[in-house]
Amino acid sequence: MTRVVFAGGGTGGHLYPGIAIARALVRADPSIEPFFVGARRGIERTVLPTTEFPHLLLDLHPLYRSAIWKNARTLVGAVTSWRHIGRMVKQERPAMVVGTGGYAAGMMLAYATVHGIPMVQQAGDSLPGLTARAFSKRSREIYLNFPEAAAALKAHHPGSLIDTGAPIEPPPEPRPDRAAARVRWNFPATGGHVLLVYGGSQGSLAINRAVAQWIDRGLPDDLYIIWGTGRATHAQFAHLESDRVRVRDYLSPIADAYAATDIAIARAGAMTTAELFAWGIPGVLVPLPTAAADHQTTNAATLEKAGAAIHLPQSRLTAESLDQTIRGLLDAPAELRRLAEGAARRARPHAAAEIARRIIALLRETART
């Protein structure tokens, strides 16, 4: 077996790309054994035990920029984590390390650098994070969700920065029938438009409040809404369920919602936008203003410039601005079509398989040398 270590996490945007690549690797070459390294305090703590992959969770912490005194725990966690990684590598040295971002990736990539273990990275955002930038020149290849991210990274060699798109679970082939999908939500098979409201797996209270006020003031005619509120706030908004509004705490499988959707209101995380575009769905993107280095704002602005989405800052998010934006699109079919075409151009539904092929080629090259 050939062990490939995946390092990353903290958030779903840094963990789920690794899982998608790992599964694509195993499908392409069953002799590869993915192994995950992450943080005890990240989302991987609950997600990885539900997967098929062995893993090691470490006492890792981010850099605390606004509370410098907390960085003592970051330092202590780094020292103990280095030792745990050393024991793991001693048991079975990996042939490759795949970094997928976040503070959970940094320690493993540093260890790989010191001990000469080949590494690659997957960079999710248009403005790459500190970890991706710090190890960019050491990485054999970096797989970009946003081609614009190349400007912030140092290349290991010409051609090592590769525009693959984000590794996601691709839409099924053939695509589900949209009319049938609408009927499953108890909407008319044809006519009008379906809007997906989705603030991520945890939901977005800011988006939820604006949508609730919008519904109260009156939706456009022939607009139907699939609304994923998040479990924590579902009880506040469940009463707004109606014949044109479906209110759910969690959208699973979310493919059922994507199949019926014409346009979305969503956060601007890399995985969310990649999934929307893979389904050809344009978005009104409301970036999370507290995201690290405000990278979601950069994502949204980049995608608006590319003609694939509309950027609506949270500071301007109101029932009135939502109503004006959505009505403007519904009254301008050519503009909505232009955005859908822009979204389709950014789509890379088979990114995970492409990245897996490239990693396998690097593993074979390394084995020969």
Predicted pLDDT of residue 264: 98
Domains belonging to the chain, first-starting first, are 2-169+350-368 (3.40.50.2000), 178-346 (3.40.50.2000)
Q: List CB contacts of 133: < 8 A, sequence separation 6 or more.
A: 152, 153, 154
H runs (alpha helix) in the chain? 12-28, 44-47, 71-91, 103-114, 130-134, 178-184, 205-217, 234-237, 255-260, 270-278, 295-305, 319-330, 333-346, 351-368
For residue range 79-137, what is the model confidence (pLDDT) as tens digits? 788 899 999 999 999 999 999 998 889 999 999 999 999 999 999 888 888 889 999 99
What is the spatial distance between Cα 369 and Cα 365, in angstroms, rounded to a whole number? 6
Predicted pLDDT of residue 66: 64
For residue range 155-167, what is the model confidence (pLDDT) as tens digits? 888 899 999 999 9
Q: Which helix (H) or strand (E) holds 161?
A: strand 161-163
Predicted pLDDT of residue 293: 78
Q: Which of 162, 152, 161, 97 is nearest to 130 (CA)?
A: 152
Burial class of 201 by CB neighbour count within 10 A (0 to 12, 13 to 18, 19+): middle
Predicted pLDDT of residue 110: 94
Own/partner contacts of 229-235, CB < 8 Å, gap of 24 or more, are 229/199, 229/203, 230/199, 230/200, 230/201, 230/202, 230/203, 230/204, 231/202, 231/203, 232/202, 232/203, 233/203, 233/205, 233/208, 234/203
Pair of tokens at residue 10: 């903290």
Predicted pLDDT of residue 4: 98
Predicted pLDDT of residue 61: 67
Q: Which of the four pLDDT bands, split at 50, 70 and 90, describes residue 170?
A: confident
Q: Which of 16, 12, 299, 207 is nearest to 195 (CA)?
A: 207
3-state DSSP call for residue 210?
helix
| pLDDT at residue 201 greater than cutoff 90 | no
For residue range 34-65, what is the model confidence (pLDDT) as tens digits? 999 999 888 898 899 999 999 999 987 666 66
Pair of tokens at residue 95: 């042939």
Residue with tokens 């759910």: 248
Whole-model pTM: value is: 0.83
Predicted pLDDT of residue 202: 78
Does 293 or 352 have the greater pLDDT score? 352
What is the spatial distance between Cα 102 and Cα 62, in angstroms, rounded to a whole number? 8
Contact predicate 143/128, CB 8 Å? no
Contact predicate 154/137, CB 8 Å? yes
